[in-house]
Structure 1
Amino acid sequence: MTYIWILLVVIILLLGFLIYLNIKDGSQSIDSKESLRDLDKAVERQEATLFDLTKDIQSFQDPLNKLNRYLSGGTLAGKFGEWSLEAIIQDIFHPNQFIANAEVIPGSGKRVEFAIKLPEGLLLPIDAKFPSGLFDNYLLAVDAKDQQLVKKSKDDIKRHVQGDAKDINIKYMQSGITIELGVMYIPSESLMQLIDSIANLREEIFRDHRVLIMGPNSLAAYLISVHMGFRTLALNERAGEIMQEFGRLKKEFLNFGGSTEDLQKRADAMLKAVNEHATRERQMEKAIKNMDRLDS
C-alpha cells in the first residue's frame, strides 16, 4: 500500500513537471513570437532608413549630373570659364584697369572677354576657352584603358586648342592697339596638365600665334606681375613729382639764402651808420663841453 502511495506521489510529481514544461514551452513560444515581431519591425525600420538614404543619394546625384551636363555643353561650359576669369581679374585689378567684353579692333564686331589696359596705352586680350566635352571623352577613354581612344582624344584636344589660339590671334590682336601677345585662359588645372603633356603644344602655339595658354594658378601669378608693373610705374611717376617739388624747394631755399644774405648786408650797413652817428654825437658833446670851459 505504501508503495502505491509512493507511486502515486511520483506520478503526480511527474505530471506536475510535465505540466510545468508545457507551460514553460508555451511562454517561450510566445516570447519567440514577440521577438520575431520585434525583429520584423526593426527590419522594416532599417528598410525605411535605407530607402530614405537611397533617396538622399539620388537627390545628391542629380545636381552632380546636371553640373556634369552643364560643363559638358559648349556654350554653357564657356560661361563657367568666363565667370572664373572674371573672378580672377576683379580680384587683382581696379575696374578702370580692364575692359569687359571689349571690341579690340574697332568695327570688327568681335569682342574678347577681357582686355587689360597696360601702362603704355596698349591692351592685353584674354579669352577663356573650355573644351570640356573633349576633356570628358579623354577621361572616359582613360577609364576604359583604351589607348587608341586616349590618343584620339588628345589629338582632338590639340586641334581644338590650336584653333582657339588662331581665333584669338585673328580676332583680338592688332598692332598699335594690343601688345604682340594674347592669353588663352583654361579654367581647369586638370585640363592644363593634359595640355602640358602634349609635346610642344604650348611652344608651337606661342611661336605661331603669339598666344599664351594659362590655367587659374599661372594666370593669377602672371596678372599679379602685370599689376605690379602698374604700381611700379605709378611709383616712378610719383618719384618724378617728388623730385620736381624738391627742385622747387631747393630754388626757394636758394632764394631765401640770398635774401638772408642781403638782409645781413643791410643790417651791417645800418649798424655801421648807427656807429658813425654815435661817434659824431660824442664829438659834438666834447665840442660843447670845450665851449663851456672857455666861457667860464
Structure 2
Amino acid sequence: MSYLLAIVIFMAGCAFGFGLAYFLRQREREMAEGLKGVFAQVSMDSLSRNSEEFMRLAKSVLEAKTGEGEKQLESKKELIDAQLVNMKDSLEKLQLFMNSMEKDREAKFAEISEQIKGTVRQTERLTDVANDLNRALSSSAERGRWGERMALDIIRAAGLVEGVNYKEQQTMKNGSRPDFTFFLPKGLMLNMDVKFPLDNYVRYYQTDGAERESCLKLFIKDVRTKIKDVKDRGYVDRAEDTLDVVLLFIPNESVYEFIYENDDTVMDFALNNNVILTSPMSLFAVLAVIRQSVENFAFESTSADMLKLFGEFYKQWKMFSEKFEMLGRRIDDVKKEFEVLTTTRTKQLERPLEKIDTLRREKGLEID
C-alpha cells in the first residue's frame, strides 16, 4: 500500500512539476515576446534617429568632399590644360622636326641616288676600259698602239712639246726608226721603244698548273729577247749623237712589277745591254729630268748673252742719266731766267708805262 502511495505521490509530483514547468515556460515566452516588442520598438526609434543623424552627417561630409573635389578637379583641370599646351607645343616642335627630317631625308635620298647613278656611270666606264684593255692585250698590233698612246699621254703630261722636245717615228740615218726620240742639250738624243711582248703574260693568267709555269718562263724569255732586240736595232749610235742607252717602255705598272718579282736579274741584264726598262711612273720621272735639264742648259747657254745685254743696258742707262741730269740743269737755268723776266724785267717795263699812262690822263687824251 505504501509502495502504491509512493508511486502515486511521485507521479503527482511529476505531473505538478511538468505543469509548473509548462507554465513557467509559457510565462517566459510571453515575457520574451514582450521584451522583443519593446526592444524592437527601441531599436526602430534608435535606428531612425541614427539614420537621420547619419544622413545629416553624410550630407555634410559629402558636401565638404564635393567642394574639395571640385577644387581639386579645377586645379587638376588647370594642370591638365597646362600639360595639354605643353604637349601641343611639343607636338608642333615634333612636327617641325619630322618635316625637317623628311626634307633632309629627301635631299639625302636624292644625293645618294645621284651618287649611285655616278657609281653606275663610273662602273660602265671602267667596264668599257676593261674591255678595251682586254682587246688591246689580245692582239699584238693593238698592244703596240696601246703602248704608244700610253707613252704619248705621259710625254704630254710631262710638258714636252712635239717638234721641240721630241719627235715620233723619226727615221735615223742608219735606217732605224724608234717610236720616240727625245732631244737633249748639246744636240744629243735619247731613243725609246714602246712595243713590248705580252702574249705569254696574258696566257699566264688564262691557264694554271704546269702550263702556267711554262707561260711564266716563256714570258721572262720574251723579255730578255726583247732587250737584246732593242740593243741590236741601232737605237744607240754615237755617230748620230745618241746617248749610250735606250729606253724600253713597259706600258703597265703591274707588268713591270711582275717582271721584277719573277726575275730579279732582268734589270741588271737590261743595263748590261744599255737598255733601261721604264714603267709609266718611272718614264714620267725620266721625262721630267729631261725637260729640266733642257731648260737649265738653255738658261746657261744664254747667260753670257744676257750678261752682255745687261752691260749694254748699263752703258746706255748711264748715258741717259747724264743727259737727263744735263737737261735738268738747263731747265733750272731757264726757270731762273723766266723768274727774272716775270719779276724784275716786268716791273722795270711797267714803271715807264705807268708814267706814260699818267701823262695821257693829264693831257685828257682818251683811248679809242
Q: Which amino acid is the alignment partner of residue 215 of structure 1?
A: S
Query: Who is 1:111 aligned against?
Result: 177
> Rg: which structure is higher?
2
Given residue 83 of structure 1, which amino acid in structure 2 is its aligned partner?
Answer: R
Distance (whole Å) between structure 2 residues aligned to residue 192 and residue 235 of structure 1: 36
Q: 1:134 offset after TM fit, Å? A: 1.3
Match of 1:268 in 2: none
Q: Which amino acid aligns with 1:174?
A: D
2:230 alignment partner, one of 163, 168, 174: 168
1:211 to 271, 275, 278: 275
TM-score, structure 2 as length reference:
0.47
The CA distance in 1 between the partners of 2:318 and 2:131, in whole Å, is 79
Pairwise CA distance, 1:251? 5.1
Q: Does residue 158 of the first structure (1) align with residue 225 of the second (2)?
A: no
8 Å CA contact 2:137, 2:143 repeated in 1: yes
Q: Structure 2 residue aligned with 1:99, among 167, 178, 181?
A: 167
**1:33 maps to which residue?**
none
Q: What is the alpha-carbon distance in structure 1 between the residues aligned to residue 133 and residue 312 of structure 2? A: 64
- The alpha carbon displacement at 1:61 in A equals 7.9
Structure 1 counterpart of 2:239, one-letter code: G
Shift, 1:97, TM fit: 1.4
Identity of aligned residues (%): 23
- SS of equivalent residue, structure 2 residue 187: coil
Asked if the contact 1:100/1:115 (under 8 Å) is kept, the reply is: yes
Per the TM alignment, residue 200 of structure 1 is displaced from its structure 2 partner at its CA by: 1.1
Deviations 1:136-175 (A, max 9, x none): 122234xx3x2x4444323222221222222222222211
Cα shift readout 1:10-59 (whole Å, capped 9, x = no counterpart)? xxxxxxxxxxxxxxxxxxxxxxxxxxxxxxxxxxxxxxxxxxxxxxxxxx
Partner Cα distance (2:317, 2:129) in 1: 74
2:177 aligned partner, one-letter code: R
What is the RMSD of the two structures over their aligned residues, measured on CA atoms?
3.0
Give the distance between the partners of 1:254 and 1:63, measured in 2 at CA: 66
Q: Secondary structure at the match of 1:247?
A: helix
In the aligned structure 1, how far is the partner of 2:138 from the partner of 2:231?
26
Distance (whole Å) between structure 2 residues aligned to residue 161 and residue 170 of structure 1: 14
- Are positions 1:68 and 2:134 aligned together? yes
| Higher mean C-alpha displacement, 62-71 vs 112-121 | 62-71
TM-score for both structures, normalised by structure 1: 0.58
Give the match for residue 81 of structure 1.
147
5+ unaligned residues in a row in structure 2: which ranges? 1-125, 327-368
Measured in 1, the distance between the counterparts of 2:299 and 2:318 equals 28
Shift of 1:240: 2.4
2:188 to 117, 122, 141: 122
Offset, 1:101:
0.4
Instruction: Give CA deviations for 1:269-292 in whole Å, capped at 9, x if unaligned.
Output: xxxxxxxxxxxxxxxxxxxxxxxx
Q: Mind listing any 5+ residue stretches in structure 1 that lack a counterpart?
A: 1-59, 264-296
Check whether the contact 2:194–2:249 (CA below 8 A) recurs between aligned residues. yes
2: distance between equivalents of 1:76 and 1:227?
30
Letter in 2 for 1:227: R
Higher relative contact order (CA 8 A, sep 6+): 1
* Offset at residue 107 of structure 1 (A): 4.8
TM-superposition CA deviations, 1:107-150 (whole Å, max 9, x none) = 52x31111001112121101113323211122234xx3x2x444
Within a 5 Å distance, the mapping from 1:173-188 to structure 2 comes to 173-177=236-240, 178-188=242-252
* Cα distance change of structure 1 residues 97 and 190 upon mapping to structure 2, 3 Å threshold: same
* 1:212 Cα offset (Å): 0.3
Tell which deviates more after alignment, 132-141 or 65-74: 65-74
CA distance in 2, matches of 1:152, 1:244: 67
- Contact 1:129 1:164 (C-alpha < 8 Å) held by counterparts: no
**Aligned equivalents of 1:160 and 1:251: distance in 2?**
67
Q: Compute the displacement of 1:233 (Å).
A: 1.2
Cα distance between partner residues in 1 of 2:129 and 2:228: 35
Q: Where in structure 2 are the equivalents of 1:33-52 lying within 5 Å? A: none
Report the residue type matching 2:289 in the other structure. S
Shift of 1:242: 2.0
Query: Where do residues 135-154 of structure 1 align in structure 2 (5 Å cutoff)?
Result: 135-141=201-207, 144=208, 146=209, 148-154=210-216
Check 1:66–1:124 CA distance in 2 against 1; reply closer, same or farther (3 A cut): closer
Q: Which residue of 2 aligns with 1:196?
A: 260
Matched letter for residue 140 of structure 2: G
Partner amino acid, structure 1, of 2:260: D
Aligned to 1:236: 300
